[in-house]
Amino acid sequence: MSTSTLPSIPGTDPERSPLDAFKIAVAASINKALPEVSLEAAYKAADIGRKGVDFSVAVARFKLGGKPDPWAKKVEESFVADDFIESVKAEGAFLSFTARTTSLTRNVLTTIDHFTNQSPTGQPSYGTNESGKGKNVVIEYSSPNIAKQFHVGHLRSTIIGAFLCNVYKACGWEVTSLNYLGDWGRQFGLIAVGFEKYGSEEELEKNAIRHLYDVYVKINKDAEEDESVNDAARAYFKRMEDGDESALTHWRKWRELSIERYKTEYERLNVAFDIYSGESQVGKESQDSCLKQLEDMGLVSDSDGAKIVDLEKYKLGKAVVRKKDGTSIYLTRDIGGAVERYEKYKFDKMIYVVASQQDLHLAQFFKVLELLEYPWAKSLEHVNFGMVQGMSTRKGTAVFLEQIIEEAAKVMHEQMQSNEEKYKQIENPHETAQEIGITAIKIQDMSAKRINNYTFNWSRMLSFEGDTGPYIQYAHVRLASMERKNPNLVPLPPATEIRFELLSEAKARDIVFLLATYPDVVKTAQERHEPSGVVTFSMKLAHLIASAWETLIVKGEPDEQKARARLFLFIRARDVLGAALRLLSITPLDRM
Ligand SMILES: NC(=[NH2+])NCCC[C@H](N)C(=O)O
């Protein structure tokens, strides 16, 4: 069976995406019976069917005139089985195509094996595609504020952003990831004043993020009671804005030490950035020149000494672009920053992963860039997400990212210790607990559509039952243990020597079919900027595997060829589950 006998349809890739071969065969048989339906149109109409139906085609979509039923019948009557499609049935206005099981199994499992073990990139690459070849995207995410709380909005941005970077890479894009720190603004004036009173170089070196936060909290309290603290802070920040070196040295050190600390914490989350940028890095010149352009275009008006751009026409309110005292603001920095980034990266697309609370802010600065007639303004996208209630540790509110990670690890560790036997077998229980804990957080976060709000719930997300991270990791661990547990069957022979026809059980077919959909899952996730589809896929696969153990036994199966074919199936399922987890920025575990 070879895909070379199939007609080629633009946009399809049967070499990488095994279902494409079958959908093309479906399209060819429709096009043969109804030449007025193009191959492309027929291919697009080949949907994955519901229960028991491989591919379903709604004939009405072709708009052939009259009732669709006779047209469907016509396809059924002229159908000739081939290597890919075994039969078709016309049911009213619908056609149901059935793929040949052995072809499907062989094609899917061989493809996965190929892209895992002989991957052209050297990295497992089943599910990847080249739709973004030659294009580059800048993805800004996480973007916490130095000396302030790392709140759940930053956590979500980190999780979703890391996923987007992976999924864009999987679709062939060149990705630049960028962390836009809140490292500028009046709070640094306050911290400078506070540091003189409460600061400690030693504490700063130990943990800059914590120490700066402590100082900030303390001085904020003082400022509430003593207005002169605020005056001093304002004066100090003004010096920073004016580029006064003596005011900038401390700030520079705080920033560097904070970044160092962030880096190690992100590493625990399996997250890394190409660039640590920040509000401080946006040049005065680019902000001023945008402002000047806006003024020249007559778009700026005065409001109590502040400068504003009226966006009421677009239902986006009035945007302040310069404060009364002349200091720069968040919005203007974003405008200037985007211009600078375009000059630097010439991106085809730039994505901002920011909570939906800032929908208006992003819409405003996108609109201003559009009014400034930057042609690339159209290629900016805001990937937003809903709120999370109740993220806290058992001791109270979580303020730092490390508290969240540590709490997840601790709760998971206690949970693991409750099974003494198993616990003893784990080599590095602390790391494992941390990894499962992080998996739990990420899976909970990406399970539903990103725009939804949800409630943070430690016990629910850390449970081994139900649709949780630990449940998926457990499925991976079981799959990963198969080779270890069946030393007589390994190493497995190459795919060409596997007897795929022995995988005839419905359970095996269900697994194969699900694995075949993975390349489409990746593509859709990229198009919609939506990780939930990948989580759903992983969950389905984990459930299917769990329900297959008893039917598809390997250890104890007397027919060695059959046992091998089943092992091959499970190992390929492991490959794909591992790929899906990695796409979600989760490290798949081999033991737990
Ligand atoms: N380009 C941007 N405005 N990105 C979002 C930055 C988020 C900001 N630091 C915050 O915590 O609210």
| CA of 358, closest atom in ligand 1 | 12
**What are 260's two structure tokens?**
């160092």
Distance 281 CA to ligand 1 centre (A): 14
> Which contiguous run of DSSP H or E holds residue 212?
helix 208-225
Distance 143 CA to ligand 1 centre (A): 6
What's the confidence (pLDDT) of residue 290?
95
> Which contiguous run of DSSP H or E holds residue 202?
helix 201-206
If one residue of 151, 177, 281, 358 were mutated to test the ligand 1 pocket, choosing by the most ligand atoms within 8 A of its CB, it would be 358
| CA of 330, closest atom in ligand 1 | 3
Closest CA relative to residue 510, chosen from 114, 105, 115? 105
pLDDT, tens only, 127-181: 999 999 999 999 999 999 999 999 999 999 999 999 999 999 999 999 999 999 9
> Residue whose CA is closest, atom 9 of ligand 1?
182
Terminal-to-terminal C-alpha distance of the chain: 40
Inter-axis angle of helices 101-117 and 560-583, nearest 10: 60
| CA of 365, closest atom in ligand 1 | 3
Alpha-carbon span 541 to 458, nearest angstrom: 24
Alpha carbon 524 to its chain centroid, in Å, reads 12
Closest CA relative to residue 16, chosen from 165, 173, 175, 124? 124
| CA of 181, closest atom in ligand 1 | 9
Alpha-carbon span 64 to 59, nearest angstrom: 8
Closest CA relative to residue 475, chosen from 412, 521, 522, 540? 540
pLDDT, tens only, 27-65: 999 999 999 999 999 999 999 998 789 999 999 999 999
CA torsion sign for 442, 448, 452, 457 is: negative
> Which contiguous run of DSSP H or E holds residue 180?
strand 174-181
Strand partners, 138: 176, 350
pLDDT, tens only, 86-120: 999 999 999 999 999 999 999 999 999 999 999 88
Burial degree of 248 (CB within 10 A; 0-12, 13-18, 19+): middle
Q: Annotated catalytic sites, by residue?
A: 148, 151, 154
Alpha-carbon span 393 to 371, nearest angstrom: 45
pLDDT band at 463 (very low <50, low <70, confident <90, very high): confident
Q: Which residues of 178-206 are buried (b: 16+ CB within 10 A; e: fewer)?
A: bbbbbbbbbbbbbbbbbbeebbeeeebee
Q: What is the mean pLDDT of the segment spanning 187-203? A: 95
Strand partners, 388: 454
DSSP collapsed to 3 states, 554-575: CCCCCCHHHHHHHHHHHHHHHH
CA torsion sign for 470, 471, 475, 476 is: negative
pLDDT band at 399 (very low <50, low <70, confident <90, very high): confident
Contact (CB, 8 A) for 473 and 589: yes
| CA of 151, closest atom in ligand 1 | 11
All domains of the chain, ordered by start, with CATH? Answer: 3-99 (3.30.1360.70), 136-277 (3.40.50.620), 392-583 (1.10.730.10)
Closest CA relative to residue 409, chosen from 559, 269, 509? 269
Alpha-carbon span 562 to 452, nearest angstrom: 45
Q: What is the mean pLDDT of the segment spanning 216-222? A: 95
Distance 334 CA to ligand 1 centre (A): 9
What's the confidence (pLDDT) of residue 253?
96
DSSP secondary structure of 284-295: HHHHHHHHHHHH
Distance 353 CA to ligand 1 centre (A): 9
Residue 314 Rama label (left phi>0; alpha psi -120 to 50; beta): alpha
Q: In what order do the strands lie in the sheet with 85-91?
A: 47-48, 55-58, 94-99, 85-91
pLDDT band at 325 (very low <50, low <70, confident <90, very high): confident
> Which residues does a 6 A CB cutoff place in the pocket of ligand 1?
140, 143, 145, 180, 182, 334, 352, 354
Average pLDDT, the chain: 95
pLDDT, tens only, 491-549: 999 999 999 999 999 999 999 999 999 999 999 999 999 999 999 999 999 999 999 99
Alpha-carbon span 576 to 544, nearest angstrom: 13
If one residue of 141, 143, 145, 331 were mutated to test the ligand 1 pocket, choosing by the most ligand atoms within 8 A of its CB, it would be 143
If one residue of 141, 146, 180 were mutated to test the ligand 1 pocket, choosing by the most ligand atoms within 8 A of its CB, it would be 180
Between 393 and 319, whose confidence is greater? 319
**What are 437's two structure tokens?**
């804990």
Distance 331 CA to ligand 1 centre (A): 10
> Residue whose CA is closest, atom 6 of ligand 1?
143
Closest CA relative to residue 526, chosen from 91, 124, 169, 213? 169
Distance 361 CA to ligand 1 centre (A): 10
Residue 361 has pLDDT above 70, yes or no: yes
